[in-house]
């Protein structure tokens, strides 16, 4: 996620050579949302004999090709239905879960109940659960608003590693007043991202019981899942969401159903409204941007604004592909809402809250960092936010003296979400210093060698949940770069391979 003014970290850091940040904005945070994401393989049956899957530890060898999603990843199907007044989503979520470690429960994170979001009237409740191995679950407060921030579903039998269970959760999501958030309704549009119970499993580790943080940033962790979505909305609404979308159904009783599929998504985003859309194909990816009639970019007509947003997204995508390799998804949707604040990344979809300037490249970069290469957003927030902020440099001129100044500041880039006392300290360390650290590391190692190492990391850890050790492994042959990350507090000696 990126709050416009939150970009102050990197933008100010590069202010010597750029236009600087938005005027009139307090130097406050950036933050979080959730994103999640997935691969370009198609359909839900990934080849189980694929010789190169992202499951398992990375030894450091640069893969000949990008890792495929885990063939045993969760299979998630979610049906959403938006009420005619746009304020309530009812849904049902089917999950087929195959743990790689033994477990006796399922744990879901209820992101809309987190601090900040719940206070705006957003609320996610689980109404009913079904499945051969479950009876009833319970909420855990986890410092979230009612009914709680996690939903724990005990299993009536213990699953062995590799053994599957299927559960169905019916849920209700109340959408609060629109704000810079993942969930809300405003000006005739409704949007919900992280709007369904989110499977909180970290392969190789187990369930994430992380608390929520009082900061404007994401705290989720979730595996890439083979995902299918169905969204029923009033017939006059257009849906832009995660996944490769099919044409909507014909109107029936004043309603239409939109569907999509994404073979590897950690989370999903849905926006419904009177969107005017424009579309283009770039680097084999279908980019679709949508704008609302109210207009939030001046006096241009909706078609002009939609086309401009599509073109800007396509340009960002191309610049990032040049640096980080193939785009992770077949499609990318960018619904622009009337609420202001910044951008929030999701697998193959970006909620744009306000104008794209200053946040679009960052959010598109999250498709690689968090969407494809996952991380614990609670434990290691820098692993997606520092990389996404660093990635802005593909279009933003870099001023080495300014970078050196920022990277020398106090603060550990690698701190967890509970270690930052304020939004300001979080943004300064993770976004600003984190980006500067990676720029300085690139300078120290040489651009070509550093870019090659990052590509190896991206390809090796695609669709997995990466750790700081993976970054240290990627930089093992570039000690000058690795030393920069150690000095900045992103890596410690325990992360270093060997
Ligand atoms: Zn971000």
Interval 412-423 mean pLDDT: 96
Is residue 14's pLDDT more than 90? no
pLDDT at 4: 58
C-alpha 267 to ligand 1 mean position (Å): 15
Helix count and strand count (H, E) for the chain: 10, 23
Q: What is the mean pLDDT of residues 250-259?
A: 98
Ion ligand 1, residue ranges at CB < 5 A: 1-2, 385, 388
CA 6 to centroid of ligand 1, rounded, Å:
9
Question: Buried b vs exposed e over 305-338: b needs ≥16 C-beta within 10 Å?
Answer: bbbbbbebbbbbbebbbebbbbbbbbbbbbbbbb
Q: Which pLDDT does position 304 carry in this prediction?
A: 94
CA 294 – CA 310 distance, rounded (Å) = 18
Domain limits of the chain? Answer: 12-65+369-495
- Give the residue ranges of DSSP H helices in 396-478: 400-407, 423-426, 434-445, 447-460, 468-474
CB-based contact 6:222 (threshold 8 Å): no
Residue 7 has pLDDT above 50, yes or no: no
Residue 22 reports pLDDT greater than 70: no
Higher model confidence: residue 493 or residue 372?
Answer: 372
pLDDT at site 1: 85
Is pLDDT at 55 greater than 80 in this prediction? no
494 has pLDDT over 60 = yes
Q: Residue 46 pLDDT > 50, yes or no?
A: no
CA of 29 to the centre of ligand 1 (A): 11
Q: H-helix or E-strand containing 386? A: helix 382-391
Percent of the residues in the chain that have a pLDDT greater than 90, as a whole number: 84
The pLDDT mean for the chain works out to 89
**Overall average pLDDT of the 127-155 stretch:** 95
pLDDT score recorded for residue 306: 96
- The confidence score (pLDDT) of residue 158 equals 97
pTM for the full model?
Answer: 0.91
Stretch 129-152: mean pLDDT:
94
- Confidence at residue 141, expressed as pLDDT on a 0 to 100 scale: 87
What are the distances in angstroms from CA 137 to CA 34, 90, 153, 428?
24, 19, 4, 39
Confidence of residue 2 (pLDDT cuts 50, 70, 90): confident
Cα 303 to Cα 300: distance, rounded to the nearest angstrom: 8
Q: Report the Cα 448 to chain-centroid distance in Å.
A: 27
The Cα 320–Cα 389 span in angstroms is 12
Q: How far apart are CA 194 and CA 268, in angstroms?
A: 6
| CA 351 to centroid of ligand 1, rounded, Å | 12
Could you tell me the distance, in angstroms and rounded to a whole number, from the CA of residue 30 to the centre of ligand 1? 8
Query: For residue 225, what are its two tokens?
Result: 């899942």
For β-strands 269-273 and 255-265, DSSP reports them as unpaired
Q: Is the pLDDT of residue 23 over 60?
A: no
What per-residue confidence (pLDDT) applies to 86?
A: 98
CATH of the domain spanning 12-65+369-495, picked from 3.40.50, 1.10.760, 1.10.390, 1.10.260: 1.10.390
134 φψ region: left (φ > 0), alpha (ψ -120 to 50), beta (else): beta
Is 12 a residue whose pLDDT tops 60?
A: no
The two most distant CA atoms of the chain are separated, in Å, by 64
What confidence category does residue 497 fall into, taking pLDDT thresholds of 50, 70 and 90? confident
Alpha-carbon gap, residue 125 to 113, rounded angstroms: 9
416: which 2 tokens? 């967890």
How many Cβ atoms from other residues are within 10 Å of residue 23's Cβ? 5
Task: Give the range among 173-187, 217-231, 288-302, 374-388 with minimum mean pLDDT.
Answer: 288-302
Cα(313) to centroid(ligand 1), Å: 16
CA 431 – ligand 1 centroid, Å: 8
pLDDT in tens, 339-362: 999 999 999 999 999 999 999 999
Range scoring the smallest mean pLDDT among 42-51, 67-76, 317-326, 472-481: 42-51
Q: How far is the CA of 436 from the centre of ligand 1 (A)?
A: 15
Tell me how far the alpha carbon of residue 32 lies from the centroid of ligand 1, in angstroms.
7
């Amino acid at each position: 996620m990126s709050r416009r003014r939150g970009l102050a970290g990197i933008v100010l850091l590069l202010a010597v050579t750029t236009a600087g940040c938005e005027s009139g904005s307090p130097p406050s945070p950036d933050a979080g949302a959730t994103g999640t994401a997935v691969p370009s393989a198609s359909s839900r049956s990934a080849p189980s004999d694929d010789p190169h899957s992202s499951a398992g530890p990375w030894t450091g060898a640069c893969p000949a090709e990008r890792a495929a999603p885990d063939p045993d990843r969760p299979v998630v199907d979610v049906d959403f239905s938006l009420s005619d007044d746009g304020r309530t989503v009812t849904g049902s979520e089917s999950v087929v879960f195959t743990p790689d470690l033994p477990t006796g429960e399922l744990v879901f994170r209820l992101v809309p109940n987190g601090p900040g979001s719940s206070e705006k009237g957003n609320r996610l409740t689980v109404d009913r659960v079904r499945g051969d191995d479950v009876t009833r679950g319970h909420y855990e407060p986890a410092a979230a608003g009612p009914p709680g921030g996690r939903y724990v579903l005990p299993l009536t039998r213990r699953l062995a590693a590799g053994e599957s269970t299927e559960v169905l959760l019916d849920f209700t999501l109340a959408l609060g007043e629109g704000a810079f958030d993942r969930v809300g309704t405003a000006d005739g549009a409704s949007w919900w991202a992280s709007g369904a119970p989110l499977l909180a499993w970290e392969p190789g580790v187990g369930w994430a019981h992380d608390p929520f943080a009082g900061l404007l940033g994401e705290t989720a962790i979730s595996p890439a899942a083979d995902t299918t979505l169905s969204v029923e909305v009033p017939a006059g609404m257009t849906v832009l969401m995660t996944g490769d979308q099919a044409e909507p159904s014909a109107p029936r009783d004043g309603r239409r159903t939109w569907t999509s599929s994404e073979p590897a998504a950690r989370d999903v985003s849905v926006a419904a409204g009177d969107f005017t859309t424009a579309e283009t194909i770039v680097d084999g990816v279908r980019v679709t941007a949508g704008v609302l009639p109210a207009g939030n970019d001046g006096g241009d007509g909706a078609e002009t604004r939609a086309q401009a947003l599509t073109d800007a997204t396509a340009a960002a995508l191309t610049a990032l592909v040049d640096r980080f390799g193939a785009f992770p998804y077949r499609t990318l949707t960018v619904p622009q809402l009337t609420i202001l604040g910044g951008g929030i990344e999701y697998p193959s979809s970006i909620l744009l809250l306000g104008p794209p300037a200053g946040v679009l490249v960052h959010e598109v970069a999250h498709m690689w960092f968090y969407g494809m290469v996952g991380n614990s957003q609670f434990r290691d927030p820098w692993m997606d936010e520092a990389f996404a902020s660093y990635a802005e440099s593909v279009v933003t001129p870099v001023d080495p003296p300014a970078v050196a100044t920022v990277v020398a500041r106090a603060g550990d880039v690698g701190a967890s979400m509970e270690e930052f006392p304020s939004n300001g300290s979080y943004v300064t360390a993770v976004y600003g210093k984190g980006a500067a650290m990676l720029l300085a590391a690139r300078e120290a190692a040489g651009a070509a060698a550093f870019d090659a190492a990052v590509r190896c990391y991206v390809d090796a850890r695609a669709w997995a949940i990466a750790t700081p050790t993976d970054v240290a492994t990627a930089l093992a042959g570039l000690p000058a770069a690795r030393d920069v990350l150690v000095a900045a507090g992103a890596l410690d000696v325990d992360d270093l391979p060997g």
